[in-house]
Amino acid sequence: MTFATQGDSHQHSLKTLNQLYEYDDFMYSITSVVDLGCGLGDDLKWWGTRTTRDTPPEPLKIQCTGIDLAETLPWTQQYPNITYQSGDFEKDIIAPPKGFDILWCHDAFQYATAPLQTLNRWWHMASRGGMLYIGVPTTQRIHRRQLDYHLPSANYYHYTMVNLIHMLAVNGWDCRSGFFRQEPGDTWLHAVVYKSDHEPMDPKTASWYQLSELKLLPESTDATIMSYGHLRQQDLIVPWIDHSIMSMAVG
């Protein structure tokens, strides 16, 4: 799916953002957020303007940073807790000393030219136990009963839930405690994962067995990896943040 406008992209991300907003303790715990590939900054502004759900509401004053290739994002000057960095989200990011609590990447990861290395860098930029959200479109669909692949400009990789989980786990992101969603018929993958205490591994030598033993993979993967030596999508059963459970046998 390609959005016609940045506003359409934000409307798409709001479903996840509003689900997260339901968890008060989670929102209170956040001190810093980076929006990786923030575009015009609608998601960035959402984070920066959050309040408690009390009556009357109180500003959460989350320190927010947006990063994108544009030279400036002028509206951020209106908010003392929102800053903007012009640069490449794969490398040109200045993180706070303790790292970011939330790394948010909606509708941007598909433009990463070195996704494994990028996830490695993001792990190092996260605070201890920090959360990473990725919302990325797939590039395949069933069209007239045939499998159809397409690759928009500046996209270089085809993503599936299996290879996204694989790349995240190899880079030290805890997918066992994480959440994943791909609704039937939808072309979007959503992942919420956490920085583990395990350093990123060498992707050339890391095995599915190692990732399973370190408990970096969803629990539903253990049996299939022991049986087949790799993860099969049809055996993947994953939770989402709204407490729903989804089987990836169809998706």
3-state secondary structure of 60: coil
What is the phi-psi region of residue 178: left when phi exceeds 0, alpha when psi lies from -120 to 50, beta otherwise?
A: beta
pLDDT score recorded for residue 251: 45
- The pLDDT value given to residue 99: 98
Tokens of 241: 């943040």
**Which domains occur in the chain, in start order?**
6-202 (3.40.50.150)
Report cis status (omega within 30 of 0) of the bond before 80.
no
SS3 label, residue 135: strand
Residue with tokens 């959050």: 50
Buried-exposed string 221-232: b where 16+ CB fall within 10 A, e elsewhere: bbebbeeeeebe
Provide, rounded to the nearest whole percent, the portion of the chain with pLDDT above 70.
96
| Closest to 175 measured CA to CA, from 120, 132, 205 | 132
User: What's the chain's average pLDDT?
Assistant: 94
Task: Return averaged pLDDT per consecutive 10 residues of the chain, 251 residues in all.
Answer: 82 97 98 97 98 96 97 96 97 93 98 98 98 93 68 90 97 98 90 98 97 97 95 94 87 45
Asked if 173 contacts 196 with a C-beta cutoff of 8 angstroms, the reply is: yes
The answer to whether the CB of 86 falls within 8 A of the CB of 69 is yes
Taking the C-alpha atoms of residue 103 and residue 34, their distance in angstroms, rounded to an integer, is 5
pLDDT at 143: 59
CA angle 45–50–56, rounded 5-degree value: 140
Q: What is the torsional sign of CA 82, 88, 90, 94?
A: negative
The model's pLDDT over 64-123, given as tens digits with 9 standing for 90+, comes to 999 999 999 999 999 999 999 999 999 989 999 999 999 999 999 999 999 999 999 999
How is 145-180 classified by DSSP, letter by letter?
A: TEEEE---TT------HHHHHHHHHHTTEEEEEEEE
Would you state the pLDDT for residue 148? 72
- E strands of 49-158, at which residues? 63-68, 82-86, 100-106, 126-137, 140-143, 146-149
- The alpha carbon of residue 105 and the mean position of all alpha carbons in its chain are separated, in whole angstroms, by 5
Length of the chain: 251
CA angle 192, 194, 97 (to 5 degrees): 125
Kind and range of the H or E run holding 137? strand 126-137
Query: Residue 188 forms beta bridges with which residues?
Result: 137
Q: What predicted TM-score, i.e. pTM, was given to this entire model?
A: 0.95
